[in-house]
Structure 1
């Protein structure tokens, strides 16, 4: 696990003026993504203030591992770069930090900066596999309580990180609209299911873990080595059709209610950028079992959690018509995870499953312990029984056509610069 170094110094300024004090992309962040200037091919970029640096275009100004990393970033996906491992990513971060903070580099590097608002952003990597976990304990308790008031958590929850295999092909970057899904539903008052558009469409406030270096089939990842396999973090909205889910999820779990669309923010904030915001994993409540030995590492317990705040806003058609600002629905923290990200990696590979560069692991909905930190409308509206009040007398139990969801996230700590993740947004379109 890397330590705080010169790239985290909040006093260092960039000659890219918009980076200084930027709420998301200051010099101390340098997240990775795939961008394309208008009319040009997609390739790897680094967000810096309101601009994007074309990484491969500055490869000749870098040396050693950093130059190798920059050349890998010249492809239309970042899979090879992520798979090169944390040492290569760190070398690139250090080198780019130096050239973007050195005024003598400005004349040579500035031609390779592009205005972010003039570029298209793509998924950072080709996602071959996607697994969604259920690591947010408050969400699990809130949802479980709606169905099992006296026993919200099933017995295995506190022993095993629960997850399901999702659909990688329907993951899209921020800004791509979501078509309301059709499916089978069985309202309580009917004797048989019906088929049609979901009436209980919901969002889920999650973060995405990007796999970097993979592991060979049949070879588990020890918990002490798990951090070497994590490239970075993005925002994830795992859209959910609650009425379809309620009918289909037993006995084999989520299926069509979850795989119609998932939205990812386009920037990968690297684990090196997040070093200052690591924190201790919250202690388990008295009486909870300790993690089994293969999931326990003392260093991971002391610094394996991430102090990342997430905010959810909604913008309805009425808000757009009136020019009103989006309305905040809730906020949450990544410290709401019952399991660390290292534990998720280790458990996923514990049976010998091979993880590959660019795979995505969702954390699960990260609700907090208070009503204003609930990470889904299913929780906020108590299953639709208590609609959420919005400005101008609007109400929502679940999402309606034309609603737009915007999720943002950031990390901050005294003595360090605030760094952010950009936006994870999408609008709901009518079913086809």
Structure 2
């Protein structure tokens, strides 16, 4: 597949070819593609107009024909030995670069599309009510987040403060740092081609509008969230930080990961019917201070990203280049598949023991969380999709 020396332990293979924004000493940020343990500087080999920029947005806005043409060019560059001299002149070791937020986030929407997660949260937060909201199996539920607090992997996460109830139901309401800081392992989808206000984007147009996928950690202050979220939903418990991976994996690289979604009942509305399967066989790995604590499966997601996009626009809401929408917490029905610590520790009642012998229910200051993911590639082996990390720092 490639003349490059890409070992099994390399961050990316020569098929995935994710896009990101990087800088080196004394030079401005620009667009590159990760391959093996290098970054290929795209401006000299694929055009300065789109890639000598501090953001992917100009490339995203160019649309699918351009995305496909550039990917074909890159596969040829790394696959054909005749290009070796040209490519090697513009490879930069990953260890020598600084990675930046890969695109300018226009809007951010977070969905709630994992049935296991939704049922578990319903049991924990609303024990006297049905676990699933009445609309949940009819449409992809979501909320509008804060684009300005989407940060690149590695950005420190300051413990948020807010109003929370202490001492159980009927307890006092106090203001202070969150005592139940959590993570959410999610897949995020990056919009390239915009749409007009008042128009709808059908399920079948997903690939024409969405460029690729990032890994997402939607940090959550569960005590703040539990107090504030009725009746309007998440606000301060979610809006303080959302981390994304620095590399955007193009949808084309995920062709071998596509699977049929779980059966849906009742039958979905017409605008949500999906002729093409856009479930994804992506497996996450959640690492807490060096200990792998769970492996959530994206393939169990009830609502696919194509259906999420169709629902997001069915009322005429427009898409903009750089829009980000995320799957919501990915949790599977089997043991070890929880995508957040609220579920993993059952709201703190069942702490986990880490490799150093310490026990955790929720995040403490200094804790480091890394979320990785893999998916099937063309060779039958699972390809790496990168990682998103964050370290908790004390409240201010």
Query: Normalised by the size of structure 1, how large is the TM-score?
Result: 0.88
Indicate conservation of the 8 Å contact 1:389/1:396, yes or no.
yes
Residue 320 of structure 1: aligned partner: none
> 2:28 & 2:189 partners in 1: Cα distance?
26
Match of 2:208 among 216, 228, 240: 228
Residue 297 of structure 1: aligned partner: 274
Residue 281 of structure 2: aligned partner: 307
Displacement of 1:191: 4.6
> 1:104 & 1:289 partners in 2: Cα distance?
55
User: What are structure 1's unaligned runs of at least 5 residues?
Assistant: 1-11, 60-66, 316-325
1:175 partnered with 2:154 = yes
Residue 335 of structure 1: aligned partner: 299
Residue 198 of structure 1: aligned partner: 178
> Equivalent residue of 2:286, what SS?
strand
Indicate conservation of the 8 Å contact 2:377/2:383, yes or no.
no
After TM superposition, list the pairs within 5 Å mapping 1:94-113 onto structure 2: 94-113=72-91
> 1:250 & 1:164 partners in 2: Cα distance?
13
> Equivalent residue of 1:391, what SS?
coil
1:151 partnered with 2:130 = yes
1:248 partnered with 2:239 = no
Displacement of 1:192: 3.7
1:48 partnered with 2:35 = yes
Indicate conservation of the 8 Å contact 2:256/2:378, yes or no.
no
Residue 184 of structure 1: aligned partner: 163
Indicate conservation of the 8 Å contact 2:259/2:281, yes or no.
yes
Task: Call closer, same or farther: CA 1:180–1:264 in 2, change over 3 Å.
Answer: same
Task: Call closer, same or farther: CA 1:314–1:230 in 2, change over 3 Å.
Answer: same
Match of 1:386 among 337, 346, 350: 350
Residue 323 of structure 1: aligned partner: none
Task: Call closer, same or farther: CA 1:270–1:23 in 2, change over 3 Å.
Answer: same
> 1:217 & 1:58 partners in 2: Cα distance?
36
> Equivalent residue of 1:27, what SS?
coil
Displacement of 1:417: 4.5
> 2:231 & 2:393 partners in 1: Cα distance?
30
Displacement of 1:72: 0.9
Residue 91 of structure 1: aligned partner: 69
After TM superposition, list the pairs within 5 Å mapping 1:128-139 onto structure 2: 128-139=106-117
Displacement of 1:247: 0.9
Count of residues paired in the alignment? 394
> 1:396 & 1:357 partners in 2: Cα distance?
40
Indicate conservation of the 8 Å contact 1:82/1:358, yes or no.
yes
1:80 partnered with 2:58 = yes
After TM superposition, list the pairs within 5 Å mapping 1:370-385 onto structure 2: 370-385=334-349
> 2:322 & 2:240 partners in 1: Cα distance?
20
Residue 314 of structure 2: aligned partner: 350
> Equivalent residue of 2:372, what SS?
strand
> 2:247 & 2:378 partners in 1: Cα distance?
24
Indicate conservation of the 8 Å contact 1:265/1:421, yes or no.
no
Indicate conservation of the 8 Å contact 1:20/1:27, yes or no.
no
Residue 119 of structure 2: aligned partner: 141
> Equivalent residue of 2:325, what SS?
strand
> Equivalent residue of 1:372, what SS?
coil
> 1:356 & 1:188 partners in 2: Cα distance?
44
Residue 242 of structure 2: aligned partner: 262
1:118 partnered with 2:82 = no
Indicate conservation of the 8 Å contact 1:24/1:419, yes or no.
no
Residue 255 of structure 2: aligned partner: 275
> Equivalent residue of 1:339, what SS?
coil
Residue 217 of structure 1: aligned partner: 197
User: What are structure 2's unaligned runs of at least 5 residues?
Assistant: none
Higher helix share: 1
Deviations 1:237-260 (A, max 9, x none): 000000111111112111111011
> 1:414 & 1:274 partners in 2: Cα distance?
9
Displacement of 1:224: 1.7
Indicate conservation of the 8 Å contact 1:205/1:365, yes or no.
yes
Deviations 1:315-372 (A, max 9, x none): 1xxxxxxxxxx10110111112111111011100111111111111010000000231
> 1:413 & 1:126 partners in 2: Cα distance?
28
Deviations 1:244-287 (A, max 9, x none): 11111112111111011111001011011111111111223xxx
Displacement of 1:100: 1.5
> Equivalent residue of 1:273, what SS?
helix
Indicate conservation of the 8 Å contact 1:134/1:163, yes or no.
yes
- Tell me how large the CA RMSD over aligned residues is: 1.5
